[in-house]
Structure 1
Amino acid sequence: MIPRIENLPEKKLIGIRLQTSIINNKTHELWRSFMPRRGEIQNQISSDLFAVQIYEPSYFEDFNPSAVFEKWATLEVTNFNNIPAEMESFTLSGGLYAVFELKGHDIAIFDYIFRTWIPNSKYDLDSRPHFEILGAKYKKDNPNSEEEIWIPIKEKL
């Protein structure tokens, strides 16, 4: 699986966040609270959902499935005017990303990305947010679902 490499411009996002971990995964709780309210967000650029993860810089060096990270459920917007109650703005910094297309729900793709692709590529993992774009072809719990996984990268020195 070969990703496409993209230089992403900065994006403005509005949504809900929480602290979670692999062991104590609260992803379902996050999206259950966000999805019924997503229509409250004004100035949406599209209906694509952004699932954003923010990790501490050492998260992948000393991987621990109980280590906590921040997870966001968001939509992209043109501006931060009129942020709904109990939601927050988030600016996704731009930069270089490896974009992997996932069909189905095979989480083994993450093992491939971090243990095979990155070590054998001309890139290192960068310490910026990771995210997935859940677009029109995303279908929750459906084996035909499609999404994009965006991994922040930088050229190896």
Structure 2
Amino acid sequence: MKPNIITTKPIVIVGLKANLSFITNGSGTAKLAKQFMPNRNQVLNRIGTEKFSIQVYDQFNYNKMSPNTLFEKWVGVEVSNADRLPGNMEVLTIPSGEYAVFNYKGKPENFLEAWQYIHTIWLPNSEFEIDDRPHFEKLPEDYHPSNPITEEEIWVPVK
């Protein structure tokens, strides 16, 4: 699994957020998605059709993480501007910077293995280190976690 290194401009997201831990991530993300998905078409100025699953960590340190590590979870879509927000949605701006982008294709339950590989094998053996910006996955419009095989992009902030 080799990444593409991509430099982004700021990415503006409109969506919903919750404070989760690795223990509550599965059910918490599902709850956010169930709240967001029926209303996603109310978001104005969308860019593309992808959905974003975003993790904002206080200080990302893979070696110090535990199942109880808390982070801010977002489910949303990219917009060109967030002038008018529907309902209870909020705005997150992901700062510009470099990302290692991995294409994942496989069973949803094997995603964690890919994520662990990135942080325990690829990253320590690369020329990069984690940057303090949001981590996220870009999901295609037809993504659903119940599909037997899913495809998504894993975006890891690097410097």
TM norm structure 1: 0.92
Superposed CA offset, 1:36-68 (max 9, x none):
110110111122101110001154341111111
* Distance change in 2, residues 1:74/1:58 (3 Å): closer
Would you say 1:144 and 2:149 are equivalent positions? yes
Q: Which residue of 1 aligns with 2:135?
A: 130
Deviation (angstroms), 1:73: 0.5
In the alignment, structure 1 segments of 5+ residues that lack a partner are: none
Provide the alpha-carbon RMSD of the alignment: 1.3
Q: Which residue of 2 aligns with 1:90?
A: 92
Could you tell me which amino acid in structure 1 is paired with residue 150 of structure 2?
S
Task: Give the Cα–Cα distance (whole angstroms) in 1 for the partners of residues 131 and 65 of structure 2.
Answer: 15
SS at match of 2:82: coil
Q: Which residue of 1 aligns with 2:42?
A: 40
Deviation (angstroms), 1:137: 5.8
Moved over 6 A (4+): none
Task: Give the Cα–Cα distance (whole angstroms) in 1 for the partners of residues 60 and 138 of structure 2.
Answer: 24
In the alignment, structure 2 segments of 5+ residues that lack a partner are: none
Instruction: State which drifts further: 57-66 or 32-41.
Output: 57-66
Task: Give the Cα–Cα distance (whole angstroms) in 2 for the partners of residues 118 and 44 of structure 1.
Answer: 32
Task: Give the Cα–Cα distance (whole angstroms) in 2 for the partners of residues 133 and 48 of structure 1.
Answer: 6
**For residues 68-83 of structure 1, what are the structure 2 equivalents within 5 Å?**
68-83=70-85
Task: Give the Cα–Cα distance (whole angstroms) in 2 for the partners of residues 118 and 42 of structure 1.
Answer: 37
Task: Give the Cα–Cα distance (whole angstroms) in 2 for the partners of residues 27 and 75 of structure 1.
Answer: 15
Structure number with higher helix proportion: 2
SS at match of 2:24: coil
In the alignment of these two chains, the number of paired residues is: 154
* 8 Å CA contact 1:59, 1:67 repeated in 2: no
**For residues 4-43 of structure 1, what are the structure 2 equivalents within 5 Å?**
4-25=4-25, 26-43=28-45
Would you say 1:111 and 2:116 are equivalent positions? yes
Could you tell me which amino acid in structure 2 is paired with residue 128 of structure 1?
R
